[in-house]
Amino acid sequence: MAKLKIPLIIFLLFIAVPSFLLVKTHLQRERDKVLGEDIENNYQLMKNYPIVSFSIEKTINLGKGKRLAQVYHVFDSISGLAVIDYADNFIEWLPIGKPFFRDDYFPVPGEILDWLRFDNLGGSAKDGGTYLLAQFANTGTAGVHPFYVYSYGDSGFRLILNLVESSSTVEIGDLNDDIKDEIIHDYSIAGIGKIERDLLRWKDIWRLEGETPVRVNSLFPQEYQSLINLYDLALTKKEWVPDVTFYYPVIRCLKGKAELTIKNNLVGPESCLNKLKQMLSRN
């Protein structure tokens, strides 16, 4: 029996040592992945978190053994953004990344993920960089697509821009070829019904100065002529008179703001939204 023990031990070592080295190398490779590498669809459940029904839908490597995960609660239909490790263990939520229903109806950060990526916002079409961009969609007729910009550094994620409006789209592009991307946020100031979603539109153009978002609408007056054309159509189209007359004061307000923007004044639609709210509350 003793004669058999030594070859058995040698055999076990022969098997175990290479296996250990292989696993170690694999784990090392995983840890060494760089920021933004390997976007994966995962669909495992997130571990080490009291709520167990979060499915990990999409991950992006952060390096240092961490991954960014978009998680989805399959029963509540709500998404979140978390940092997890390679064993799918929860580490922390991103700011506003923890899923919850605001007022029991509006999901934060969002219901379904449209897209997320790291970007340098440096005018390059390529992914990569230290800004995390994420857009969600909420499944309602208001067409809300919440949009988030985070910066990522040694201290983790910091939320620097959060845009939540109705019937919204976000485009990233370098509008003036200065190797700095602009964030073009096109939306309705009030997505109540189709009329408001179609006609009470506005566009904000954002640029990041370091970690500070700056609204730069006035630098891009050419972007506002199409809005004026839309407002003019709304104010004159006979077929729309029964439905749109109520909104004329708001549309005129928006048109005034767009004209000011074209004249390089930095203005937003806030006062027009307040006007609409006053009109609605009177009724």
Q: Is position 142 an interface residue for other proteins (rule: CB under 8 A)? A: yes
Rule CB under 8 A: choose which of 30, 40, 198, 211 binds other proteins.
198
Q: Is position 238 an interface residue for other proteins (rule: CB under 8 A)? A: no
Q: Is position 143 an interface residue for other proteins (rule: CB under 8 A)? A: yes
**Where are the alpha helices (H) located in the chain, listed in sequence order?**
2-32, 194-199, 225-236, 241-244, 248-262, 270-282
Distance CA 210, CA 215 (A): 13
Total residues interacting with other proteins, rule: CB under 8 A: 48
Shortest gap between Cβ of 194 and other proteins (angstroms)? 5
Rule CB under 8 A: choose which of 71, 132, 164, 170 binds other proteins.
164
Q: Is position 106 an interface residue for other proteins (rule: CB under 8 A)? A: yes
Cis peptide before 18 (omega within 30 of 0): no
What part of residues 122-141 is at the interface with other proteins (CB under 8 A)? 137-141
Rule CB under 8 A: choose which of 41, 155, 212, 283 binds other proteins.
283
Q: Is position 258 an interface residue for other proteins (rule: CB under 8 A)? A: no
- C-alpha distance from residue 118 to each of 96, 115, 130, 149, 259 (Å): 18, 11, 6, 10, 35
Neighbouring C-alpha atoms within 13 Å toward the C-beta of 222: 2
Q: Is position 269 an interface residue for other proteins (rule: CB under 8 A)? A: no
How far from chain centre, in Å, is Cα 125? 17
Query: Are 100 and 108 within 8 A, CB to CB?
Result: yes
Shortest gap between Cβ of 16 and other proteins (angstroms)? 39
Rule CB under 8 A: choose which of 91, 96, 159, 195 binds other proteins.
195
Distance CA 261, CA 256 (A): 9
Nearer to other proteins, 186 or 216 (CB): 186
Q: Is position 77 an interface residue for other proteins (rule: CB under 8 A)? A: yes
- C-alpha distance from residue 110 to each of 164, 226, 238 (Å): 10, 30, 38
Q: Identify the bridge partners of residue 45 per DSSP, sorted by sequence position.
A: 55
Q: Is position 40 an interface residue for other proteins (rule: CB under 8 A)? A: no
Shortest gap between Cβ of 34 and other proteins (angstroms)? 30
> Which amino acid, residue 34?
V
Binding residues for other proteins, rule: CB under 8 A, are 50-53, 72-77, 102-106, 111-112, 137-144, 164-167, 169, 190-195, 197-198, 239-240, 242-243, 245-246, 277, 279-280, 283
